[in-house]
Amino acid sequence: MKAFEFTVQSRIGIHARPAAYLCKKAKEYESRITIYHGIKKANVKKIMDLMALGVAYQEKVRIEIEGSDEAVAYRELRAYCKENI
């Protein structure tokens, strides 16, 4: 399992468009990808679950990746989140 944390830089948080882009990116990988916000968690590949977390601007989240392509998914998702979310 691989994991990373980041602070949300999108002014609207992880809602609507940022959630859709993150979900689309996560679906490129076979690994299970879970996002944690406080005590809540969601499957990043399910947009409604992702949006239901209510992650706002400047809040910290943790993403855990587990599966056959976790190394690639970790590297690419980490870079994507830090640059776009």
Q: Cα–Cα distance between 24 and 85 in angstroms, integer?
A: 13
Is 37 designated active site? no
Residue in 15, 41, 62, 78 annotated catalytic:
15
Question: How many residues belong to the chain?
Answer: 85
DSSP assigned state of 69: T
Residues designated catalytic: 15
